[in-house]
Amino acid sequence: MKTSVKILAPLLGLLSASVFAHDVPQKINNNSLKIIFPHEVSGHDNSSESFVDSILNKMTLDEKIGQLNQMHCEDGKLLEEYVRKGLVGSVMSITNPKDFNKIQRIAIEESPLGIPLINARDVIHGFKTIFPIPLGQACSFDPNLIEQAARISVIEASAAGIRWTFSPMVDISQDPRWGRIAEGFGEDPYLASILGASMVRGYQGKNLNNPTSIAACAKHFAGYGASEGGKDYNSTFISPNRFRNLYLRPFHSCVDNGVATMMTSFNDNDGVPSTGNKWLVKDVLRDEWGYDGVVVTDWNAIKEMVNHGYCEDERSAALKAINASVDIDMMSRAYIDNIKSLISDGFINEYQIDDAVKRILRLKYSLGLFESPYCDETLVSTAFYATDHIQKAQELAEKSIVLLKNDSQILPFGSNVNKILVTGPLADAPYEQLGTWIFDGDAQHSVTPLDALKNEFGTDNIIYEPCLEYSRDNKLEGLNRIKKKSSEVDIILAFVGEESILSGEAHSLASLCLQGAQSQLIKELSQLGKPVVAVFIAGRPLTIGNEIALSSAAIYSFAPGTMGGPAIVNTLTGKNNPSGKLPITFPITVGQIPIYYNHNNTGRPSDGTELKINDIPVGTPQTSLGNKSYYLDSPECLFPFGFGLSYSDFKYRDLCLDKNEYQLNDSITLTFNLENITSVPGTEVVQVYIRDIHGSQIRPVKELIHFERIALDANDKKCVSFSIPVAKLGYWLGNKYVIEPGKFDIFVGGNSKDCLTTSFNII
Ligand code: BGC
Nearest CA to ligand 1 atom 10: 166
Q: Assign residue 669 a region: left if phi > 0, alpha if psi is -120 to 50, beta otherwise? A: beta
The string of pLDDT tens digits covering residues 366-395 is: 999 999 999 999 999 999 999 999 999 999
DSSP 120: E
User: Ligand 1: does its nearest atom lie under 6 Å from the Cβ of 299?
Assistant: yes
Atom of ligand 1 nearest to the CA of 265: 8
User: Ligand 1: does its nearest atom lie under 6 Å from the Cβ of 636?
Assistant: no
CA-to-CA distance for 134 and 139, rounded, in angstroms? 9
CA-to-CA distance for 395 and 571, rounded, in angstroms? 11
Would you tell me how many other CB atoms lie within 10 Å of the CB of residue 17?
A: 12
> Which residues are known to be catalytic?
298
Quick one: pLDDT at residue 5?
A: 27
The string of pLDDT tens digits covering residues 320-353 is: 999 999 999 999 999 999 999 999 999 999 999 9
Percent of the chain with pLDDT over 90: 91
AA letter at 284: V
Instruction: Work out the pLDDT band at 624, boundaries 50, 70, 90.
Output: confident
Please say if the pLDDT value at position 17 is more than 50.
Answer: no
User: Ligand 1: does its nearest atom lie under 6 Å from the Cβ of 122?
Assistant: yes
User: Ligand 1: does its nearest atom lie under 6 Å from the Cβ of 183?
Assistant: no
Instruction: Work out the pLDDT band at 45, boundaries 50, 70, 90.
Output: confident
User: Ligand 1: does its nearest atom lie under 6 Å from the Cβ of 219?
Assistant: yes
Question: Which residue, among 643, 716, 709, has the nearest Cα to 677 in the 3D structure?
Answer: 716
Instruction: Work out the pLDDT band at 43, boundaries 50, 70, 90.
Output: low
User: Ligand 1: does its nearest atom lie under 6 Å from the Cβ of 287?
Assistant: no
Please say if the pLDDT value at position 458 is more than 90.
Answer: yes
Please say if the pLDDT value at position 232 is more than 50.
Answer: yes
For a pocket test of ligand 1, which of 298, 332, 507 has the largest count of ligand atoms closer than 8 A to its C-beta? 298
Angstrom distances, CA of residue 178 to CA of 295, 431, 444, 512, 690: 25, 21, 29, 10, 28
CB 688 within 8 A of CB 710: no
Quick one: pLDDT at residue 42?
A: 42
Encode 112-129: b = buried (16+ Cβ within 10 Å), e = exposed: bbbbbbbbbbbbbbbbbb
The string of pLDDT tens digits covering residues 246-269 is: 999 999 999 999 999 999 999 999
- Residue 483, C-beta contacts closer than 8 angstroms, at least 6 positions apart: 528
For a pocket test of ligand 1, which of 95, 133, 166, 439 has the largest count of ligand atoms closer than 8 A to its C-beta? 166
Query: Considering the chain, what is the average pLDDT of its residues?
Result: 93
Highest mean pLDDT among 15-29, 223-237, 619-633: 223-237
Please say if the pLDDT value at position 21 is more than 50.
Answer: no
Quick one: pLDDT at residue 593?
A: 98
Work out the average pLDDT over 541-554: 98
CA of 208 to the centre of ligand 1 (A): 23
Quick one: pLDDT at residue 33?
A: 26
Angstrom distances, CA of residue 30 to CA of 68, 337, 342, 348: 21, 20, 11, 8
Quick one: pLDDT at residue 625?
A: 80
Q: Phi first, then psi: what are they for 297, rounded to 5°?
A: -80, 165
Work out the average pLDDT over 34-44: 36
Work out the average pLDDT over 513-527: 98
CA-to-CA distance for 748 and 721, rounded, in angstroms? 11
Nearest CA to ligand 1 atom 5: 299
Nearest CA to ligand 1 atom 8: 298
Quick one: pLDDT at residue 469?
A: 98
Please say if the pLDDT value at position 26 is more than 60.
Answer: no
User: Ligand 1: does its nearest atom lie under 6 Å from the Cβ of 298?
Assistant: yes
Please say if the pLDDT value at position 119 is more than 60.
Answer: yes
User: Ligand 1: does its nearest atom lie under 6 Å from the Cβ of 121?
Assistant: no
Atom of ligand 1 nearest to the CA of 93: 12
Work out the average pLDDT over 282-296: 98
CA of 750 to the centre of ligand 1 (A): 35
pTM score of the predicted model: 0.94
Nearest CA to ligand 1 atom 12: 122
Which of 4-13, 442-451, 555-564 is least confident?
4-13
Work out the average pLDDT over 691-704: 97
For a pocket test of ligand 1, which of 91, 122, 178, 274 has the largest count of ligand atoms closer than 8 A to its C-beta? 122
